[in-house]
Amino acid sequence: MHESAWQQVSQTLGNSMAGRLGDAYPLGYQGNAAAAPRPQVIAPHAEETPAPPRRRFLAGALAVTAAAGAGALVAVRDFYPLSSVAADAATATGERRRYQLTDGTELLLDARSRVNLEFTATYRRLMLLEGAVAVTAPEDPNRPFLVQTAEGVVRSSGKRYMVRQQARRTLVVAHEGDLDVETVGGTRGSIPQGTGARFDAARLDAARSELSTEAAWEGGWINANGRPLAEIIAALRPYRHGTLRVSMAAGGLPVTGMYPLDDSEAALQALGERMPIAIQRLTPWFVSIHVAMS
């Protein structure tokens, strides 16, 4: 993309940092994958009457691949306005969900994630409102795929990568292909394939290969190699109902090993057996973790 075109796209994205409610929403979003008919996918440019890019995309470009890690296809045939929904696509507690778009893009949303989507003739945009998304996009140099977070924009012409919205920062992992990043403050940089990096509104950290393990959630796991316990607990929270609290002292303890996201009780049990921590269950919905008394 030429410099002037990239500036135009960046300006467009900057004017709408907050996500919008969808103009239309797919029926069958929570449908039974086994009973669903084959998905009907309509090319967004096939309409005779032009429609706003966002409505045209939602009404014609979204086929849902839904399952908590399994990826069964759910058909999308009819749409209806649903103003109470705060995102075009979202996942519940303990749920990972796949989506397939008509341009060939595949999305995987982590638990408790929300995204909005917008396609135009010059770019494809996903606004990550909460949680994490893994993107596998076909290459299109003339129509880049953009993932927008509160801190900036991640740009690629295609390939596979993961983006997570964290507290006042964004985590990016480049699985296949390099990525370009521009922060809200205008800082630009690249993330090479096989590495990951975090950025805030002003600064992009150096890319590191060890951050690639933070995308292990795509397979249903936490991969820890010296990560602080507070990060492990934060990864488990979207997979549990109720409150999961960790003290500051315990939160700084380093963790190593693989822990299952889809069985958070087993993960907590393994942590309790391997680490000097005490896990107190006041109720099934309130769990507190602190350093064990010696």
Q: What pLDDT digit, counting tens, does each position of 67-89 carry?
A: 333 333 222 222 222 322 579 99
pLDDT (tens digit per residue) in 254-281: 999 999 999 999 999 999 999 999 999 9
| pLDDT on residue 85 | 54
Nearest Cα to 268, choosing from 72, 38, 252, 284?
Answer: 284
pLDDT (tens digit per residue) in 113-128: 999 999 999 999 999 9
| pLDDT on residue 35 | 31
- Report residue 264 as tokens: 């958070």
pLDDT (tens digit per residue) in 21-66: 222 222 222 333 333 333 223 222 222 333 444 444 443 345 444 3
User: Is residue 155's pLDDT more than 60?
Assistant: yes
What mean pLDDT is reported for the chain? 79
Q: How many helices (H) and strands (E) does the chain have?
A: 5, 21
- Report residue 168 as tokens: 């006042």
C-alpha torsion sign, points 189, 223, 221, 288: negative
Distances, alpha carbon 8 to alpha carbons 1, 3, 54, 122, 127, in Å = 11, 9, 18, 10, 17
| pLDDT on residue 76 | 28
| pLDDT on residue 11 | 45
pLDDT (tens digit per residue) in 179-233: 999 999 999 999 999 999 999 999 999 999 999 999 999 999 999 999 999 999 9
% of residues, the chain, pLDDT over 70: 71
Per the model's pLDDT, the better-predicted residue between 169 and 16 turns out to be 169
pTM of the entire predicted model: 0.74
| pLDDT on residue 49 | 32
- Report residue 4 as tokens: 């002037």
> Position 47: which residue type?
E
Full set of structural domains in the chain with CATH: 77-215 (2.60.120.1440), 220-291 (3.55.50.30)
